[in-house]
Amino acid sequence: MQSRSPVADLMSESATKLLGGKYELVQPVGQGGMASVWLGLTHGEAGFRRKVAIKRVLQHLFQDQGFEAMFVEEARVVADLNHPNIVQVHDFGYDIDGGYFIVMEWCEGMNLENYVRSYLHARERTPWQLLSAVSIEVLRALSAAHQHTDDEGRAAPVIHRDVAPANILVGINGSVKLTDFGLSRAMDRPGTTDPGTVKGKVAYMAPECLRGSGPSLMTDIYALGVTLWEAVAGRPLFGGTGTDVEVAMRVMNGDIPPLDEVREDIPRELCQIVARATSLEPRHRYQRGGAMVEALSSLLRKQTKPTDGAEIARSVREAIRRKAPSMPPPKPRTIPGVTS
């Protein structure tokens, strides 16, 4: 009997949309400049099915060794970060089409960008109390990454480097998850960023990174501060208009309006917390995520509006019902001539 050709095998597997023989691609849910994310199904014995998120390298990057190394590093790093506020990695494999893929937990809900957009679409203000509660959960994820240790128990902090609204997931069960560690830098490995470039979303980069300093724990704190400012204000802080270079200049100038100047119902204490997180100089920011958690928690304890998981879940379900228009995730940006 004549054996099947490799081409026939490829066509057969492609037709069933199975990766690694057990992961079905159901529908795409997002795409950036380097990878696409799909809703997928795990196929197991006795009809077992489970929703998963599948991140796949874009085809035109299959032969890009630099990105391939970064993708592999993302899988390695996140697989070692076991925390309820970090999207967990279930599997890592090689696509029959020639690219890597990561299988992650599926989070039913929406990202923070679309969550805030749903309120704006309904001409409502996103409750600052809930945004503060979401930020606390993200800070717990960052703290877990920053306090990461290697197999020998030595400090090996992981810096996310891409904290932004599109990478924060809020679930219909009230969970908050930080995802997309694609640009993360683990301190137990040399960086994969090419010399002379900064990669990520320019509007959320700390000023010192744009000036050429390396990432630190405080750069993640800064990015979350910008994210919280924008979510509360309901508008971009730096990145609304202009070229990447123009946005970078605004970031480096550090001209950040106090939140109570753009929204009058914001307590002064929240303005101070956000201002400290987004300080121009790293030494003036919170030096650890736990310190900012304490500040936000102290503020929320004085409020009567509920901010627990059940309330976050209720608000997410309402946001989904409003059917806010979905926006494509921002493309990763690179500024030539700036080191990371």
Per-residue pLDDT tens over the stretch 97-119:
778 899 999 999 999 999 999 99
One domain, residues 241 and 332:
yes
Name the domain boundary from 67, 85, 105. Answer: 105
One domain, residues 311 and 225:
yes
One domain, residues 252 and 295:
yes
> Which domain range does residue 268 map to?
109-336
Residue 144 in domain: yes
One domain, residues 77 and 121:
no
Give dist(CA 272, CA 259) in Å, integer: 9
Give dist(CA 291, CA 84) in Å, integer: 19
One domain, residues 139 and 89:
no
Residue 252 in domain: yes
- Band (pLDDT 50/70/90 cuts) for residue 338 is very low
How does 163-182 read in b/e, with b if 16+ C-beta sit within 10 Å?
A: bbbbbbbbbbebbbbbbbbb
One domain, residues 209 and 93:
no
- Band (pLDDT 50/70/90 cuts) for residue 278 is very high
One domain, residues 151 and 211:
yes
CA 323 vs. chain centroid, Å, equals: 22
Q: How far from each other are the two terminal CA atoms of the chain, in whole angstroms?
A: 58
What is the domain-level CATH number for residue 90? 3.30.200.20
pLDDT greater than 80 at residue 5: no
What is the domain-level CATH number for residue 172? 1.10.510.10
* pTM for the whole structure: 0.85
pLDDT greater than 90 at residue 51: yes
One domain, residues 297 and 267:
yes
One domain, residues 101 and 116:
no
- Band (pLDDT 50/70/90 cuts) for residue 328 is very low
Residue 128 in domain: yes
Query: Which segments of 112-212 are extended strands (E)?
Result: 158-159, 168-171, 176-178, 185-186, 197-200
Number of structural domains (the chain) is 2
The residues carrying an active-site annotation are 162
Name the domain boundary from 55, 82, 105. Answer: 105
- Band (pLDDT 50/70/90 cuts) for residue 281 is very high
